[in-house]
Amino acid sequence: MSPFSHRGARRGGRLAADWAPDSWRRRPAAQQPVYDDPAVLAAAVAELTALPPLVTSWEIELLKGQLAEAAAGERFLLQGGDCAESFGDCNSAAIAAKLKILLQMSLVLVHGSKRRVIRVGRFAGQYAKPRTHPTEERDGQVLPAYRGDIVNRRGFSEAERRADPQLLLRGYERAALTLNFVRALIDGGFADLHHPEYWDLEFVRHSPHAEEYQRMVEAIADSLRFMETLAGQQIGELGRVDFFTSHEGLHLLWEQAQTRQVPHREGWYDLTTHFPWIGMRTSDPGSAHVEFFRGVSNPVAVKLGPGMTPEWLGELAERLDPEREPGRLTLIHRFGMDEIARRLPPLLEEMHRRQRRPLWCCDPMHGNTETTPSGVRTRRFERILGELEQAFELHEQLGSRLGGVHFELTGEDVTECVGGARGLSDADLGRSYRSQVDPRLNYEQALEMALLIARRMARRGP
């Protein structure tokens, strides 16, 4: 039987009879690539459908449970990684650097928030990008926009910008290779809290915050040893660090191909990732994307941009989480520093009125993108921090709680965002600007951001 012919989805103990992995096809699907050969596309999708899943349903359920605890204030979510992963960066150094920065940030956040931190990478599948303009023009030549490595290529020629179905398979392989390495590093003790000194990166030593970071690392190792002395044994559970994957659930054929039923559980799981999110450009309640994610059992997140209204959000919550299942729904707001104070409160009030307690997360990156006078896309450290500080404040004032943060960052020494302790200026952007899409915090900026948030959380309480 074709995996697409099962009907019905279990969510929160109920089967939605009117849902199937392909029921999204009856809705308007924005941001989907146009392929010129349907037969070649169908063959690639069929191959993907037959391949083993990238993640498992029990990992997904574990994460959902942890997200439910974060919504209840017992954990804190750290989600971060590239704006768009690139196939070319699927190498050991880049993957290890991404893990390290997320681990180090999480350590700092554990210290500040006194809560356990859920680590979620924007990786092992963050390959499809929504674009504001479907085409790009250079020197009078107009070509389809680059839509992520899983769709087309970055170079500016007709051949490179053609949507190529083979890239779906290359993306699956890159995601699997990335996951394999992440799992091996973690199983091998790379992320063991007993040895945080292994997480050192060469240039943390030159950071103005190196000392503060070292002190935290030592304090954490000390308290772990102290607890183990009390317990008289190694506390495996405490020393172990989990890692989860996430990506924007944008390319619906790719998501559908790995959406399956699994033995001993009812319902459908999107097994491309633990934690997909619906982007701002595809979050219309009547959209194909909302239709698709309504039926899968994964925890899902939705990005909320400046256009989001309380009615729209209410509709989204009812569609995506009719059963109010703990951990199911995360709302990631990304308004920008100048808009958050005006945009967020009505949405918090709406969820309060509906007696809903989703997990709230702030993405301070996407509302704060700007272009320098010389035409380079960047983000300013102070504005990113400014939005985050307001987010903590606004949630507190309205009896809500900010339960997580979402960053575009890299473990490498790029120069894409300006500001931070080193005072990177517009002039520095040319030095090492590598992103093809959005500008990322570099290693030092990301760690500094975590230190500043942690200080605030330590000062004000969770």
Applying CB under 6 A, the residues found at the interface with ligand PEP are 83, 130, 248, 279-281, 303, 305, 334, 366, 438
Give 256 or 368: the residue with its C-beta nearer to Co ion: 368
Question: Quick check: 184 and 157 in contact, CB under 8 A?
Answer: no
Element (H, E) at 300: strand 300-304
For the bound state, the minimum distance from the C-beta of residue 460 to Co ion, rounded and expressed in Å, comes to 29
Give 351 or 409: the residue with its C-beta nearer to Co ion: 409
Q: How far is CA 182 from the centre of its chain?
A: 16
Give 69 or 291: the residue with its C-beta nearer to ligand PEP: 291
For the bound state, the minimum distance from the C-beta of residue 408 to ligand PEP, rounded and expressed in Å, comes to 7
Element (H, E) at 248: strand 244-248
For the bound state, the minimum distance from the C-beta of residue 302 to Co ion, rounded and expressed in Å, comes to 15
Q: Please state, in angstroms and rounded to a whole number, the distance separating the CA atoms of residues 235 and 138.
A: 58
Q: Which does 291 bind (CB under 5 to 8 A by kind): Co ion, ligand PEP, none?
A: none
Rg for the chain, CA atoms, rounded? 21
Nearest-CB residue for ligand PEP: 279
Tell me the DSSP string of 308-333. Answer: --HHHHHHHHHHH-TT--TTSEEEEE
For the bound state, the minimum distance from the C-beta of residue 366 to Co ion, rounded and expressed in Å, comes to 6
Please, which residues have CB within 8 angstroms of residue 37's CB and are 6 or more apart in sequence? Answer: 165
Q: Please state, in angstroms and rounded to a whole number, the distance separating the CA atoms of residues 9 and 345.
A: 33
Tell me the DSSP string of 258-297. Answer: TEE--TT--SBEETT-SEEEE-GGG--TTSHHHHHHHTB-
Q: Which does 64 bind (CB under 5 to 8 A by kind): Co ion, ligand PEP, none?
A: none
For the bound state, the minimum distance from the C-beta of residue 364 to Co ion, rounded and expressed in Å, comes to 12
Instruction: Print the binding letters for residues 338-357 with Co ion: x by CB under 5 A, - otherwise.
Output: --------------------
Give 280 or 447: the residue with its C-beta nearer to ligand PEP: 280
State phi, psi for 301 to the nearest 5 degrees.
-120, 155
Give the helix ranges, DSSP H, for 16-91.
Answer: 38-50, 57-71
Q: Please state, in angstroms and rounded to a whole number, the distance separating the CA atoms of residues 324 and 420.
A: 40
Q: Which does 81 bind (CB under 5 to 8 A by kind): Co ion, ligand PEP, none?
A: none
CA-CA-CA-CA torsion sign (5, 9, 14, 16): negative
**Applying CB under 5 A, does 438 fall inside the site for Co ion?**
yes
Q: Please state, in angstroms and rounded to a whole number, the distance separating the CA atoms of residues 216 and 218.
A: 5
For the bound state, the minimum distance from the C-beta of residue 336 to ligand PEP, rounded and expressed in Å, comes to 11
Give 81 or 196: the residue with its C-beta nearer to ligand PEP: 81
DSSP state of 22: T
Q: Which does 280 bind (CB under 5 to 8 A by kind): ligand PEP, Co ion, none?
A: ligand PEP
Q: Which does 89 bind (CB under 5 to 8 A by kind): ligand PEP, Co ion, none?
A: none
Site for Co ion in 283-342 (CB under 5 A): none
Candidates 77-85, 97-105, 204-212, 414-422 — which segment interacts with Co ion by CB under 5 A? 77-85
Q: What is the amino acid identity at position 7?
A: R
State phi, psi for 75 to the nearest 5 degrees.
-140, 170
For the bound state, the minimum distance from the C-beta of residue 437 to Co ion, rounded and expressed in Å, comes to 6
Q: Please state, in angstroms and rounded to a whole number, the distance separating the CA atoms of residues 244 and 332.
A: 17
For the bound state, the minimum distance from the C-beta of residue 83 to ligand PEP, rounded and expressed in Å, comes to 5
For the bound state, the minimum distance from the C-beta of residue 202 to ligand PEP, rounded and expressed in Å, comes to 28
Q: Which does 303 bind (CB under 5 to 8 A by kind): Co ion, ligand PEP, none?
A: ligand PEP
Question: Six-digit token pair at 278?
Answer: 């619906």
Site for Co ion in 81-110 (CB under 5 A): 83
Give 83 or 402: the residue with its C-beta nearer to ligand PEP: 83
For the bound state, the minimum distance from the C-beta of residue 18 to Co ion, rounded and expressed in Å, comes to 33
Give 72 or 437: the residue with its C-beta nearer to Co ion: 437
Q: Which does 440 bind (CB under 5 to 8 A by kind): Co ion, ligand PEP, none?
A: none
Q: Please state, in angstroms and rounded to a whole number, the distance separating the CA atoms of residues 350 and 310.
A: 6
Give 249 or 403: the residue with its C-beta nearer to ligand PEP: 249
Q: CA torsion, points 145, 147, 150, 151, in degrees to nearest 10?
A: -50
CA distances from residue 263 to 65, 253, 293, 296, 389 in whole angstroms, order as listed: 20, 23, 21, 15, 45
Give 57 or 298: the residue with its C-beta nearer to ligand PEP: 298
Q: List residues near Co ion by CB under 5 A.
A: 83, 438
